[in-house]
Structures are given as C-alpha cells and as structure tokens.
C-alpha cells in the first residue's frame, strides 16, 4: 500500500483557462472587429446631409423662373393679346345728335390698346367740336373708353350773316347757328360789320354782364347792345332800357339795378352805381 501514491489535490486549471484565453484572443468563432452588429462583415454607409446653402440656391432659381413666366404672360397680355383692345367708346353728357360726332372726333381705332391709348390726344380731338366746352377721358377696363363732355350753354344769340341766330356762350364764342332765337336767350347787337368772338371786346363785355345778372333779371332780358367794352346797354321786358356802361363793378351794378326796378320808369342808368338815375 505504501508503494502506490495517491494524488493529493485537484488537477491544475490550465486547460480551462486556455480555452477562455482562446475565446478572448479571437478564436475561430470570434466576430471580426470592424463588422456591424446587424450585418456581419459589411460596414454601414452614412449619406452626407445636403448643405442649407444648396437648398436656398435651388429655391431662388425656382422663384426666378416663376417670376419670368409671370412677366412673359403680362407682356403678352399687354402688348399682343386683344384682351385690352378698345371695343366700345361710351359717350356721356352729349346731346343725342352729338354722340356720333363725338365718337368720330375721338377717332379711336378698334384695335387700339386701352392700356397704351393717349387720353389727352383723344380729348384734344373731341375739343375741336364747336359745341363741346370741356372733355374728360377715362378707361373702363377691360375694353371701354369713356368720353365725358360738357356742351356750351348759350347766353346770347347774335343775328347770323346767312340768316338765323348764332348762339354765343359765356366766353363770347359763337358755336352754333339755329333758325330761331331760343326762349330766354337775349339778342346780341354789335356795331355793323362786327361778328361775335372771344377776342372782340364788345362781345366779351356783353357776355360778362349777362352772367353777372341774377336769374330773376336775366329772365327779363330781351336784347343786349355792346358798342364796346365801356358802352353796354340792354333792354328788359316792357321796353325798359338799362344803361350799364363799362364792363366793371358788375355785381354792384346788378344789386343797384334790382332795387331801382321797383320804381316806375323807362330808363335805368347804373353806369355809376353810386349815382344811379331813373327816368
């Protein structure tokens, strides 16, 4: 029994520790160090982010292209498209027998663009009509031109050389011959051979005096005589004569005359309003 020896302890752990060491040092089952956990042996690719300056530049080009498209459309509509062409000339304020005359004087071709039309030129042409005192031209989009006119109003009627009566407005302009003197418009009498005109002093003086009279006196006017700017007289109903004198201080003379007419008489002299005389 003494010849055989018994082992006196546990076997050394070198084998176990060696296996563990093999696993730690990258044995056959070890995973490659560069591999991703989800895809063995293949690295994950990361796409770089688009820089913000690039996005802004792309938006700028898109906006510029859109603006050019809009601009091209506007140029087409305003230059080549018939959308804004004049299709009607609407006349306002003219007497029925003057509407076509105003349209003809305006001379607007149908293919004229309302956008580029010169309204001042149209007004100037219409103003050449004798009966037209003032003109206003406006646009009514998309295709109507509105021509508003004011016709002259007669304050006097002079005997026309060829017969009838020449109507004279407040400026002394004779603009229309008619067969009969209109009711309520007094006759203008000038020296022989003198025709009414804004440049003729007697005509202007007579027109200024008539305009200065109140409506109640103007309704009684029958005839206005003007030998010159300093010698104006007129005849009222009931054959009453008024000596007005110069075309001056008209408002004062009108007020004095209105008071004098309450007195009986046939001649009323207000040429010097502070020394008015009734005879």
pLDDT in tens, the chain (279 residues): 434 444 444 444 444 444 444 444 444 444 444 444 444 545 566 555 555 676 777 778 878 877 877 776 666 556 656 788 999 999 999 999 999 999 999 999 988 999 889 999 999 999 999 999 999 999 999 999 999 999 999 999 999 999 999 999 999 999 999 999 999 999 999 999 999 999 999 999 999 999 999 999 999 999 999 999 999 999 999 999 999 999 999 999 999 999 999 999 999 999 999 999 999
How many other C-beta atoms can be found within 10 angstroms of the C-beta atom of residue 243? 18
- The whole-angstrom separation of Cα 117 and Cα 11 is 118
| 3-class secondary-structure state, position 245 | strand
Compute the C-alpha angle 74/75/76, nearest 5°: 90
Q: What is the 3-state secondary structure (H, E, C) of 123-175?
A: HHHHCCCCCEEEEEEEEECCCEEEEEEEECCCCEEEECCCCCEEEECCCCCEE
* Dist. CA 157–CA 166, nearest whole Å: 5
185/113 Cα distance (integer angstroms): 44
Judge residue 264's burial from the number of C-beta atoms within 10 Å of its C-beta, 0-12 exposed, 13-18 middle, 19 or more buried.
Answer: exposed
User: Nearest-CA neighbor of 171 among 192, 191, 150?
Assistant: 150
For 186-217, how does the pLDDT look when each residue is reduced to its tens digit (9 = 90+)?
999 999 999 999 999 999 999 999 999 999 99
The alpha helices in the chain, defined as continuous H runs, are: 14-24, 52-75, 99-106, 119-126, 201-212, 215-218, 250-260
In this structure, are residues 186 and 223 in contact, taking their beta carbons and an 8 Å threshold?
yes
- Smallest CA-to-CA distance from 92 within 159, 18, 149 is with 149
Under 8 Å between Cβ of 106 and 89: yes
Confidence (pTM): 0.71
Question: What structural domains does the chain harbor?
Answer: 82-151 (3.10.20.310), 156-278 (3.40.50.11690)
Q: How far apart are CA 208 and CA 74, in angstroms?
A: 54
């Amino acid at each position: 029994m003494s010849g055989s020896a018994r082992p006196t302890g546990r076997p050394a752990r070198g084998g176990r520790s060696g296996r563990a060491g093999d696993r730690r040092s990258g044995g056959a089952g070890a995973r490659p160090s560069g591999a991703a956990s989800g895809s063995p042996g293949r690295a994950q690719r990361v796409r770089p982010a688009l820089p913000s300056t690039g996005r802004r530049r792309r938006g700028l080009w898109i906006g510029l292209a859109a603006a050019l498209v809009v601009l091209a459309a506007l140029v087409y509509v305003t230059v080549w498209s018939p959308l804004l062409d004049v299709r009607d000339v609407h006349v306002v304020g003219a007497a029925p027998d003057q509407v076509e005359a105003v349209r003809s004087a305006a001379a607007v071709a149908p293919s004229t663009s309302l956008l580029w039309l010169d309204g001042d030129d149209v007004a100037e042409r219409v103003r050449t009509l004798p009966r037209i005192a003032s003109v206003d031209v406006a646009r009514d989009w998309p295709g109507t031109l509105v021509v508003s006119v004011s016709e002259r109003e007669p304050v006097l009627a002079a005997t026309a050389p060829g017969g009838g009566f020449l109507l004279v407005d407040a400026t002394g302009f004779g603009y229309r011959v008619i067969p009969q003197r209109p009711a309520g418009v007094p006759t203008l009498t000038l020296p022989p051979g003198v025709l009414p005109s804004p440049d003729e002093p007697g005509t202007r003086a007579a027109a200024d005096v008539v305009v200065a009279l109140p409506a109640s006196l103007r309704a009684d006017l029958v005839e206005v005589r003007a030998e010159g700017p300093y010698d104006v007289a007129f005849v009222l109903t009931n054959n009453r004569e008024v000596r007005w004198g110069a075309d001056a201080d008209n408002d004062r003379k009108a007020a004095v005359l209105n008071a004098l007419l309450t007195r009986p008489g046939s001649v009323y002299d207000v040429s010097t309003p502070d020394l008015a005389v009734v005879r």
